Chains A and B, each alone.
Chain A
Amino acid sequence: MSGLWLLADSRLPTGGHAHSGGIEAAVRRGLVSAPDDVAGWLGGRVPTAGLVTAAPSAAACALAAAAPAPARALSARGEPSDALVDRTFPSRTGVSERGEESAALAGRGFPSCGELRSPDWARWDAAISARTPVAALREVSRTQGRAMLRTVRSAWPDAAIDGLGARPHQALVLGVATAAANGSPHDAAALAVHHLVGQVCSAAVRLLGLDPLALAGVHARALDEHRDVIDRAADAGTDAAALDDPDHLPSATTPLPEVLAVLHARSEGALFAS
């Protein structure tokens, strides 16, 4: 249980502090000036982009909870899982689609071990890519996923990370980490939404000098008002995992933030990476 506190901490070394949940692009266009504007942004994004990232986190948690621990899996193969992952999927940085390639290889590379079979993460990874039409946001997701993977290896050596590849989407790593910390799919969905809201709120404080107390209120109210989003993400992710079909993951989005994400990635002098 205590591991969940670590996963909820914004100081978790996954690079989340370098991202604004998309709001910097809106701030730089003069569209955000008060805590209410931040709440408005979250009102559009949490039930759409938030749902879409929380559901695969929940699914990954459910899948990982049913997957073999590396210690058991490696005895079947007779070699340490980390070495296997590192050798098979060399770290390749810089181009997002390469991460997708390596993840696709990962899915094909693992033989079935009967009941100990690892989830076919490549299909889930591809489903998240398909639900992230903006290439810059796929890259952000993989960069954060890679960073979180390192943290997970350190904090939960038994986490079911086999086959995730070198640069998996963050949503999958968060789900696997939640399972390793004995959390539920609902916990994974809540953590995903919490981090999206936290990134937006803390970025608003840093970019606009808004009152941190007011933004703490925005954060708390957003989590409360969107409890149903967390519930729906947990249900959708759990159902998709039970069906072993990532096609069932939700895919909602809103248009302006998607467009701003591309403009932001192409701009210079931004404080946040996304």
Chain B
Amino acid sequence: MTPVVGGPAAGRSAAESSPAVDTTAGSAVGGGAVEATARLRLVDGRLTWASAPPIVLRRTGHRRVHLVAVGGGPLGGDRLRLEVELGPGERLSLHSAAATVVQPGRDPGRTASMAVTASLATGSALDWRPEPTVVCDAAAWEPSVRLDLADGARARVVEQLVLGRSGQVGGRCASTMRAAVGGTPILATTTVLDGADAALIGLGGTGGARSVGSVLVVGTDSDRCDEDAGEDGEVTWARSPLAGPGALTTAVGSTRAVAALLAREGGAQPPWW
């Protein structure tokens, strides 16, 4: 395991009005790729964060933070991390300012990754709702979201993946979602997509669809956890309760129809609580 070189710990007492931005935090890991860890912490009503280019965080409102991507990545080989910690009873709405476009970089086939980990204390709530991610031809992308909820915490994650820019078939993607409540894992799933793989773009994969969306809701009092499903030719979707408090909605279809479904099923407007 390569040691992660990142920004200063967000846990240090950076005042809310003066975020700790360390522009040296991203470090080269060969082939022009970068390795960076950004951190975000909301405890006792104090929001502190440490950006790590290419991940730059910006406070955009009360209990609201945006990821502002810089540098035109991710590119193959990039290893990005975002660590989120919410104290008891804290609520945070987390967004990205623009769509993420994953490109192969100089070495096609090298995997880029973005790992979001969130530790949520009792009574806290996280709403993570990034803009869509486009996986370009020849790119390989491994995003992951790991939620560690104390009893009484809640989280919602709304994500959309798009295979390829206009005119492209799209690259490879393995998107992992893991959630544990009170230390007990209730979800561990990795959705595998590859626009250039006949089997994965076929019937047993996406059925020819270029976009996949998901709404993950975890925690106590999670609303809309009952089973439901629908299909209309543009999007095929289903919501199913997890083996614990929560539900996962999956939608497969055209980019526009999946986005519309996520807006409906994931709640169009934050904050979700």
Contacts and interface: CB of A to CB of B under 8 A. Distances in A.
Interface of A: 26, 31-32, 37, 40-45, 47-48, 97, 100, 126-127, 129-136, 138, 247, 249-263, 265-266
B191 A266 contact: no
B128 interface: no
B188 A256 contact: no
A134 B240 contact: yes
20 contacts: A40-B203, A40-B204, A41-B202, A42-B204, A129-B186, A132-B243, A133-B242, A136-B227, A138-B243, A250-B190, A251-B190, A252-B190, A253-B190, A254-B193, A255-B191, A259-B252, A262-B238, A262-B239, A263-B229, A263-B236
Interface stretch (B4-12, B53-61, B99-107, B205-213): B205-213
B188 A251 contact: yes
A48 B194 CA distance: 13
Contact of A135 (B176, B189, B209, B227): B227
Contacts of B207: 31, 256
A43 B204 contact: yes
Nearest to A97: B243
A12 to B, nearest CB: 25
Contacts of B187: 130, 133
Contacts, number: 125
A249 B178 CA distance: 13
B159 to A, nearest CB: 12
Given A130-B188, A131-B189, A133-B189, A32 B236 contact: no
B250 interface: yes
Contacts of A126: 184-185, 243
B205 A254 contact: yes
In the A-B complex, the 5 residue pairs with the closest CB atoms: A44-B204, A43-B199, A262-B238, A129-B243, A41-B204
Contacts of A132: 243
Contacts of A260: 236
Nearest to A127: B185
If over half of B's interface residues share one DSSP class (helix, strand or loop), that class is named, otherwise mixed; here it is strand
Q: Which of A44, A131, A247, A255 has the most CB of B within 10 A?
A: A255
Given A43-B198, A44-B199, A133-B187, A256 B206 contact: yes
A266 to B, nearest CB: 6
A136 B189 contact: no
B243 A259 contact: no
A47 B184 CA distance: 27
B104 to A, nearest CB: 22
Contact of B203 (A48, A134, A256, A266): A256
A15 B178 CA distance: 31
A129 B242 CA distance: 8
Contacts of A26: 203
B229 A48 contact: no
Q: Which of A100, A133, A247, A252 has the most CB of B within 10 A?
A: A133
